[in-house]
């Protein structure tokens, strides 16, 4: 087993949980870069105040959901005072029913961070020790093994969170750096930690929340912003490779419509192409009146996707300051209120929205790939399939097939999960969001979209080679240089797959413009 004993990121101050909201970038820093997390004094006080309310209620005779009752459809079953601690452990064990491949480490780390942040806001009633134990897992790089399937995204991400929470009590499993599974108790012992003993309400608080969905979508928000920029850059390069016109990006056209994303994409395309010799070479006496939609309507299509992703970020950002537990503790009023903040519908709809937006980014990129490879434009006689010798060499013909297959898969993934309800818990939980499924589909869609954009960049970079000695803009040539740093020009047939993978790695690391 290879476990990192401590997480120290050079040049990065610890993230302090204050009880306030987080940002997607902060989630990403902890989930991917192993930024250390600490609990601030304000959060400590919020935890203490809420726990005092829970302790007082646990000693009372009134039935309170999660303290002295069963769970879900078993909520009418009373629990004796001496059993209130036991039922919390039983809850984690019984709810750890996930199946399928393990979630990526970054998703689980993000989930743990969001769980700790939600609890630290002082409306869940857990003890300080519980939140500290979660932070110990993060800071010692102990990542619980969590199967990816099992949440219906309504009464919290129950199964995934239960798998993660078992490690806090010395059960469940941790994944080592080498992928080996380690028993939770052994993993805790390896870094000098001991299992905690849960008390009233704490097991329920650990699994009642939207933290899996929110973790996936937080990472997606960061990745989608980078991918959107790469898609715009790819579109600009494709336009010059195809000897397209930038006239359709004139700001006056887009201001006449007033769609924010459309205006922004047109501006970015104009800036990227400024100073291109290729554009200047055919600005006069070009018999082509209009470019195909895949070039001319980039602002309209990609701008709509940009606006959609911005709305997703708005929903996710709100959730990163939320408490999604039940019941909730309001210490100032000495009140415990049951509700449904654990319901994942806001995130489920946002995830479905993201998958649709990504589908259009990839879809119009694939059309540009097709246009560049089709050899139909007599005013821009680049060789069919960008082949060095069409017929003898197939060039990048099959790269477009791959893009088409990716787009088709994304079309299937874009079918909204949030509209398909399946009731659970004997009908008490009768309207579920399926938000975890929607979030996983959106994440897969983003990965596929990145691959399509990588293919476009490969094709567009090769297309520019056929415009020489004319050069594109300085901005586009810098991007071309980055691609050429990892891929050579196509002189004869070779497998495109390694080149696509190298460009994809550039996009995944946000290094395309670096």
Entry field: residues in the chain: 514
Q: Give the helix/strand (H/E) hosting 140.
A: none
Strand partners, 84: none
**Is-catalytic flag, 65?**
yes
Which one-letter DSSP state was computed for residue 100?
A: E
Report d(CA 301, CA 303) in Å as an integer: 5
Report d(CA 379, CA 419) in Å as an integer: 47
For residue 119, whether the previous peptide bond is cis, meaning omega lies within 30 degrees of 0, is: no
8 Å CB contact between 262 and 303: yes
Cβ atoms < 10 Å from Cβ of 165? 30
411-417: long-range contacts, CB 8 A cutoff, minimum separation 24: 411/359, 413/355, 413/359, 413/441, 413/442, 413/444, 413/445, 413/448, 414/352, 414/355, 414/356, 414/358, 414/359, 414/441, 414/445, 416/349, 416/352, 416/355, 416/356, 417/348, 417/351, 417/352, 417/441
Which one-letter DSSP state was computed for residue 382?
A: P
8 Å CB contact between 34 and 141: yes
Q: Exposure of 470 by Cβ count < 10 A (0-12 exposed, 13-18 middle, 19+ buried)?
A: middle
Q: Which two tokens stand for residue 122?
A: 């002082």
8 Å CB contact between 110 and 218: yes
Q: How far is CA 337 from the centre of its chain?
A: 32
- The angle formed by the CA atoms of residues 159, 163 and 169, to the nearest 5 degrees, is 130
Q: What is the CA radius of gyration of the chain?
A: 26
Q: Exposure of 392 by Cβ count < 10 A (0-12 exposed, 13-18 middle, 19+ buried)?
A: exposed
Could you list the active site residues? Answer: 65
């Amino acid at each position: 087993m290879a476990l990192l004993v401590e997480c120290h990121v050079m040049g990065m101050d610890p993230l302090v949980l204050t009880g306030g909201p987080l940002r997607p970038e902060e989630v990403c820093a902890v989930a991917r870069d192993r930024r250390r997390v600490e609990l601030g004094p304000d959060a400590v006080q919020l935890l203490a105040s809420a726990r005092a309310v829970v302790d007082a209620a646990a000693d009372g005779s009134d039935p309170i959901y999660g303290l002295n009752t069963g769970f879900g459809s078993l909520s009418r079953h009373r629990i004796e005072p001496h059993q209130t601690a036991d039922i919390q452990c039983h809850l984690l064990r019984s709810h750890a029913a996930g199946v399928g491949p393990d979630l990526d480490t970054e998703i689980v780390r993000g989930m743990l961070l969001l769980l700790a942040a939600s609890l630290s806001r002082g409306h869940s009633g857990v003890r300080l020790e519980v939140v500290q134990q979660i932070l110990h897992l993060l800071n010692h790089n102990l990542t619980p093994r969590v199967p990816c399937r099992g949440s219906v995204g309504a009464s919290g991400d129950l199964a995934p969170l239960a798998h993660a929470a078992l490690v806090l009590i010395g059960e469940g499993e941790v994944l080592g750096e080498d992928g080996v599974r380690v028993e939770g108790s052994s993993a805790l012992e390896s870094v000098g930690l001991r299992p905690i003993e849960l008390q009233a309400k704490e097991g329920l608080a650990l699994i009642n929340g939207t933290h899996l969905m929110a973790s996936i979508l937080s990472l997606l928000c960061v990745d989608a912003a980078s991918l959107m920029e790469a898609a715009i850059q790819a579109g600009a390069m494709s336009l010059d490779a195809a000897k397209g016109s930038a006239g359709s990006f004139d700001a006056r056209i887009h201001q006449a419509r007033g769609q924010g994303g459309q205006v922004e994409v047109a501006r970015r395309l104009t800036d990227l192409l400024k100073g291109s010799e290729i554009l200047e070479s055919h600005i006069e006496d070009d018999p082509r009146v209009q470019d195909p939609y895949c070039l001319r309507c980039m602002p309209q299509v990609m701008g709509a996707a940009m606006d959609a992703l911005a709305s997703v970020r708005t929903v996710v950002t709100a959730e990163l300051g939320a408490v999604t537990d039940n019941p909730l503790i309001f210490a100032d009023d000495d009140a415990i209120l049951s509700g449904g903040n654990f319901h994942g519908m806001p995130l489920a709809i946002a995830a479905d929205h993201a998958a649709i937006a990504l589908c259009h980014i990839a879809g119009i990129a694939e059309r540009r790939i097709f246009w560049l490879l089709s050899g139909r434009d007599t005013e821009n006689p680049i060789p069919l399939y960008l082949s060095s010798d069409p017929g003898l060499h197939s060039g990048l013909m099959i790269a477009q097939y791959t893009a088409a297959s990716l787009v088709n898969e994304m079309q299937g993934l874009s079918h909204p999960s949030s509209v398909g309800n399946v009731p659970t818990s004997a009908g008490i939980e009768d309207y579920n969001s399926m938000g975890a499924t929607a979030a996983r589909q959106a994440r897969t869609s983003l990965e596929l979209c990145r691959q399509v954009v990588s293919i476009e960049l490969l094709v567009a970079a090769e297309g520019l080679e056929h415009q020489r000695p004319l050069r594109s803009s300085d901005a586009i040539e810098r991007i071309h240089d980055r691609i050429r740093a990892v891929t050579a020009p196509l002189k004869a047939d070779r497998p495109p797959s390694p080149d696509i993978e190298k460009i994809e790695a550039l996009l995944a690391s946000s290094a395309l413009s670096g």
